[in-house]
Amino acid sequence: MSERPGERHIIKSAVRLLPLVFLTVFFFYPLLAIFRLSLAPQGHLDPAALSKLVSTTYYARTLWFTTWQAAASTLLTVVLALPGAYVFARYRFPGKNLLQALTTIPFVMPTIVVAAAFNALLGPRGRLNLTLMALLRLQHPPINLQHTIWIILLAHVFYNYTVVLRIVGGFWANLNPRLEEAARVLGADRWRVLWQVTLPLLAPALVAAALLVFIFCFTSFGVILILGGPRFATLEVEIYRQTMNLFNLPLAATLSLAQIALTLLMTSVYTRLQARTGRPLKLHPRQTTQRRPATWRERALVGGNVVFMAALLLTPLLALAERSLWTGSGYALTNYSELFVNRRGSVFFVPPAEAVRNSLIFAILTVGLALVLGIISAYLLADRESRLNRWLDPIFMLPLGTSAVTLGFGYIIALDRPPLNLRTSPLLIPLAHTLVAFPFVVRAVLPVLRGIHPHLRESASVLGASPARVWREVDLPIVGRALLVGAVFAFTISMGEFGATSLIARPQIPTMPVAIYRFLGQPGALNYGQALAMSTLLMLVCAVGFLGIERFRYGGAGEF
Amino acid sequence: MSLLEIHHLTKYYGEERFPDDISFTVDEGEIVCLLGPSGCGKTTLLRIIAGLEIADAGQVLFEGRDIRDVPVHRRNFGLMFQDYALFPHKNVFENVAFGLRTMHLTETEIGAGVSKILELVGLSGFEKRDVNLLSGGEQQRVALARSLAPRPRLLMLDEPLGSLDRTLRERLMNELRTILKGVGVTAIYVTHDQEEAFAIADRVVIMNHGRKVQEGTPQDVYQHPATEFVAQFLGLTNLLPGKVTSVSEDHVTVETKIGKLEVGGWKLEVGGWKLEVGGWRLGVGNWRSGVEATVLIRPEAANPAECPSAGDNIVAGTLMERSFRGGTYRLVIRHASGLHLSFTIPASGVDLPDVGAPVSLPLRSEAISLLTPDPRP
């Protein structure tokens, strides 16, 4: 409010512009290139690609499939996760914190690892089929889910279960149980309470969670590509195929355009809802809303959900680890040691250890960039006085809803020529990863930043702390843990990012997910084993990182 | 010269002004209470003095100097928020030490300062505690200790007891005054609770809609509310409109709905000084025949011991409510005009009619005062 010296003001404004400049160059500029390529490939307006999109039913069917599989996945996820959210919100039981941490692991798993994990559990050579074949003396695997819609839906539920659990469960935990009790006393039975009190109160969180899950499934890539096989294609997969296999860039660009428009619509609805979930209700501290299960019915409910979560979320990951150690005749580390051998003497062979190194370097760069941009953006958004926020918030969320493949595709066509030629620069990968990761940093930091009561800073100031000291002693320690959460999110996202990387990574410098995809694409038990070994390594890195941050969450804050 | 002088402070919120042209002073070592309903601009006033907000007009002088350009952290004031604003990531010791750490003291000096102040507020041994796990009363003490620790030249307290329950509030009220007076700190205390203000303040500034309506010692203000608003705010509800019919040397007669009332008491003049006794201070000369006035009948005005006789200063009506309050009875009487009046009378040695029965009570003229009616919007 007070006037500041001009010079500092200019520096401040420049810093504030940084996220917008970054978004402009590495997000909007590539998107614009996509626009141009799709609508005017030869420099003049040419709606050929656009009309092709409409004239053949193939793309309409792709869009239809993308939408209904996302809707079905969302519905399934919400229905399956609601009882779990209730159990987490209202009951205390031993091992709850550990279980809560474990349930989040799938969400930070790279798609490629999830695909490999489901393969390891349910695939023709998967644990379940091998066990059943041995038990029932069968010649062929009895479960054949590979390349069916069911395995896609299952993987999506696996992936997003925790989104619903966290958002809805977190909100539910802070709802005053007295409201439900009041309704019971007024004569409503359990179902009436659920329909007329609980669900309406939960609605904002429920809709926000569902929308987020829908967005994730709508832009699903790795799961569809690997588990769905050639029969299934979402818009995202179609963009990838048109680009990589058919080199039909104008059509890919048009598809990207359609997808951006749809996700933009959904993300803006999401941010509006998100802003609203914070306000209307008086929330209660969790200690007062939770209790131990008392009756056998409650114990059965809690136990049933715990078993279900373990079966759904942990068995595929355990199967992955188990399969990676399997050599066909016993357990050994063969698959892991093979990672370091170039059997075929291929010139394009990159020692997998190097893929690990590449991934780590890119991830560290991504963390640094995403933190800087994320902090600045979060401060911009936390400023209640600013009227820009309504616009900035969905804009900063945009990269989250934009498909990674589209992004990578945009980089290929926009950043490969002057004024900005980064096509040969390995920097392109961390830049793309930063775009995907920094919204997560913003989402992790923003609620904590907004939650710092202005009185805290004012108290420090009145007590004699200079502005710099106020930041160091009040903001930093409080936001610190959220920053760490954001950092680990950025790290795991970069480690596992596959969509954009698969397009822009140069053959000589692959990342871990790219290497896994290559192994999966080659025949033979050894390649399959190596893919599983690499996936297990990636899983461990992400899981360790994530379990680490679970201890640092600030009072359960954070929007994801 | 007063330590703090506030001159015509005004802040605009759109068309509204909170505070609106407020002036008052605070002397060294004095506790001044800003008393008024919530939303009357008290908190904004504090924040302007602290430097957290900037006034649109007016001046804040500290030791005679305008402090407009002194940044918040250089003012060496203290401010205690209603929600305490304890740093959730620091323990009790670090919270209290915060202000001391900005003063370039050694660790030993800081440690000594903290334990001394914690002892003062009765929290010795709490140093390592997590502030989030303290009770409301304990948090309040930590907040007080934190603002007192750097020895502020002016301490501001914004509804410091506002979020405590009633019993705790009453206990801490007296303790707070003892602590503040013991330290000898100059303080501005904001509250909407008159009981709190009376218990703590040396002087009270009553505010309404951003404006100052009255200023004085607690006794003064209670005895002589300047306006209808102040009377109502202080819990004095027997207010009725009237018209002055005659003014004499020692009393004023007012015509009201419940009959003629004599307002006054007796006064002596000793060597040119007016010695005032009873509930009426305004010089008789301030009132003229035919002037509109608001009559305030204090709850203790009823005098059932005197035999009711016909004449002035009698309220007659139906007894609507009679509740025993220990040493006293509270009566509500409904006058034929529909007006309800409430009185407090001593419980001993009085025969009261039953509820619903007619009753008439004589009123002591010195417990009746005349107020300037509030301007009607």
Residue B29's closest CA among B57, B62, B2, B67? B2
Banded model confidence at residue A342, pLDDT cuts 50, 70, 90: low
Mean pLDDT of B166-187: 90
Interface of B with A in 161-190 (CB under 8 A): none
C-alpha angle A340-A345-A346 in degrees, rounded to nearest 5: 100
Distance CA(A399)–CA(A237), nearest Å, equals 18
3-state SS, residue A202 = helix
Q: Are B337 and B257 in contact (CB under 8 A)?
A: yes
User: Kind and range of the H or E element at B318?
Assistant: strand B314-324
Q: Which of the residue ranges A278-287, A462-471, B324-333 would you say has the lowest mean pLDDT?
A: A278-287
Distance CA(B169)–CA(B160), nearest Å, equals 10
- Measured torsion, CA atoms of residues B283, B285, B291, B294, in degrees rounded to the nearest 10: 0
pLDDT exceeds cutoff 50 at A279: no
Quick check: B362 contacting A, CB < 8 Å?
no
Per-residue model confidence (pLDDT) at position B183: 92
In a domain, A8, yes or no: no
Q: Domains in chain A: how many in total?
A: 1
How far, CA to CA in Å, does B322 sit from each of A295, B318, B325, B337?
Answer: 51, 11, 10, 20
In a domain, A376, yes or no: yes
In a domain, A308, yes or no: yes
Q: Which of the residue ranges A339-348, A368-377, A406-415, B118-127 would you say has the lowest mean pLDDT?
A: A339-348
In a domain, A354, yes or no: yes
**Rounded to an integer, what is the distance from CA B44 to the centroid of its chain?**
18
**Cβ contact B85–A459 (<8 Å):** yes
Beta strand ranges found along A366-474 (DSSP E): 416-417, 420-421
Domains of chain B: 4-224 (3.40.50.300), 232-371 (no CATH)
- Mean pLDDT taken over chain A: 81
In a domain, A399, yes or no: yes
- Find chain B residues with C-beta within 8 A of A286's C-beta: none
Banded model confidence at residue A121, pLDDT cuts 50, 70, 90: confident
Per-residue model confidence (pLDDT) at position A15: 83
Taking CA–CA distances from A555, the nearest residue in chain B reads B88
pLDDT exceeds cutoff 70 at A419: no
Distance CA(B213)–CA(B191), nearest Å, equals 15
Which residues fall within 8 angstroms of residue B127, CB to CB, at 6 or more apart? B91, B92, B93, B114, B115, B118
List the single residue in A453, A456, A462 with the smallest CB-CB distance to B72: A462
Quick check: B78 contacting A, CB < 8 Å?
yes
Determine what percent of chain A is predicted with pLDDT higher than 90.
14
Q: Which residue has the higher pLDDT, A296 or A329?
A: A296
Mean pLDDT of A278-296: 64
Determine what percent of chain A is predicted with pLDDT higher than 70.
87
Task: Give the best residue of B13, B73, B110, B156 to mutate against chain A (max A CB count within 10 A).
Answer: B73
- Find chain B residues with C-beta within 8 A of A2's C-beta: 54
Tell me which residue range forms the domain holding A346. Answer: 21-550
pLDDT exceeds cutoff 80 at A347: no
What φ, ψ does residue B357 adopt, rounded to 5°? -85, 155
What is the identity of the amino acid at A388? L
Banded model confidence at residue B266, pLDDT cuts 50, 70, 90: very low
List the single residue in B53, B78, B83 with the smallest CB-CB distance to A453: B83
Supply A285's token pair. Answer: 């501290």
Q: Are B164 and B137 in contact (CB under 8 A)?
A: yes
CATH number, domain of A346, equals: 1.10.3720.10
Question: How many interface pairs between A and B have CB atoms less than 8 angstroms apart?
Answer: 67
Distance CA(A413)–CA(A408), nearest Å, equals 9
Interface of A with B in 421-480 (CB under 8 A): 453, 455-456, 458-467, 469-470, 473-474, 477-478
Per-residue model confidence (pLDDT) at position A559: 39
Per-residue model confidence (pLDDT) at position B181: 93
- ipTM score of complex: 0.76
Supply B236's token pair. Answer: 């004095």
Per-residue model confidence (pLDDT) at position A550: 61
3-state SS, residue A362 = helix
- Mean pLDDT taken over chain B: 85
Q: Which of the residue ranges A342-351, A421-430, B38-47, B326-335 would you say has the lowest mean pLDDT?
A: A342-351
Banded model confidence at residue B270, pLDDT cuts 50, 70, 90: very low
Distance CA(A512)–CA(A496), nearest Å, equals 8
Smallest CA–CA distance, residue B130 to chain A, in Å, is 14
Banded model confidence at residue B280, pLDDT cuts 50, 70, 90: very low
**Cβ contact B98–A458 (<8 Å):** no
Q: Which residue has the higher pLDDT, B257 or A557?
A: B257
Per-residue model confidence (pLDDT) at position A401: 65
Which spans in chain B are helix H? 42-50, 92-101, 107-120, 136-148, 166-183, 194-200, 218-223, 228-233
What φ, ψ does residue A427 adopt, rounded to 5°? -60, -25
Mean pLDDT of B333-337: 89
Distance CA(B213)–CA(B205), nearest Å, equals 8
pLDDT tens, position by position, B111-163: 999 999 999 999 999 999 988 889 988 999 999 999 999 999 999 999 998 87
Q: Which residue has the higher pLDDT, A397 or A552?
A: A397
pLDDT exceeds cutoff 50 at B278: no
List the single residue in B77, B87, B90 with the smallest CB-CB distance to A462: B77
> A127-136 vs A111-122: helix axis angle to the nearest 10?
0
- Find chain A residues with C-beta within 8 A of B53's C-beta: 1
**Cβ contact A1–B77 (<8 Å):** no
Per-residue model confidence (pLDDT) at position B143: 94
Which residues fall within 8 angstroms of residue A15, CB to CB, at 6 or more apart? A376
In a domain, A560, yes or no: no
In a domain, A9, yes or no: no
**Cβ contact B53–A1 (<8 Å):** yes
Q: Which residue has the higher pLDDT, B301 or B26?
A: B26
- Find chain B residues with C-beta within 8 A of A465's C-beta: 73, 98, 102
Q: Which of the residue ranges A188-192, A307-311, B80-84, B227-231 would you say has the lowest mean pLDDT?
A: A188-192
Per-residue model confidence (pLDDT) at position A277: 53
**Cβ contact B73–A459 (<8 Å):** no
Distance CA(A218)–CA(A236), nearest Å, equals 8
Per-residue model confidence (pLDDT) at position A350: 64
pLDDT exceeds cutoff 70 at A344: no
What is the identity of the amino acid at A497? E
Smallest CA–CA distance, residue A2 to chain B, in Å, is 8
List the single residue in B53, B73, B90 with the smallest CB-CB distance to A464: B73
**Cβ contact B76–A464 (<8 Å):** yes
What φ, ψ does residue B321 adopt, rounded to 5°? -150, 140
C-alpha angle A375-A380-A381 in degrees, rounded to nearest 5: 100
Per-residue model confidence (pLDDT) at position A3: 42
**Cβ contact A460–B87 (<8 Å):** yes
List the single residue in A1, A456, A465 with the smallest CB-CB distance to B85: A456
**Cβ contact B73–A478 (<8 Å):** no
C-alpha angle B369-B371-B373 in degrees, rounded to nearest 5: 150
In a domain, A41, yes or no: yes
